[in-house]
Amino acid sequence: MTPGFTIPTDDADARHQLLSISRLQESGWIFVRSLRVGVSGTVYSARLVDCQTETQVYIAAGETLAELEGREPDSFLEALSREPHDAPVEGSISYYIGERACSEAQAAAAGG
């Protein structure tokens, strides 16, 4: 779990945190769970990120971690086969979450 951080968007008062980052062994994708706490409430999110192509697949969201986990698919590779793979809009929350998760995944792979 990483320390909280802000994202320079219209929602700049919200705090974001990467809860977990794991590499999918069968592919170049990483699975990222994140948390956003702001004026409008708390949201847990899950997404798959391909750091090489800078594309993402948004998987699920929930108001609690248990709710999020209940909405995640059994097979991420199945989700990849049917979901569109989109590059997030530069400057969006998804853009910054993906950028930070890829940076942390790369540091972890390098032993840092």
Is residue 5 assigned to a domain? Answer: no
7: alpha, beta or left? (left if phi > 0; alpha if psi -120 to 50):
beta
Q: How many domains is the chain partitioned into structurally?
A: 1
pLDDT of residue 2: 65
Q: Residue for token digits 């991420």?
A: 76
Return per-residue pLDDT of the chain as tens, 112 residues. 567 888 887 777 899 999 999 988 767 889 999 999 999 899 999 999 999 888 898 888 999 999 998 888 766 666 666 666 778 888 888 999 999 999 999 898 888 6
Is residue 10 assigned to a domain? Answer: no
Is residue 62 assigned to a domain? Answer: yes
pLDDT of residue 16: 94
Is residue 50 assigned to a domain? Answer: yes
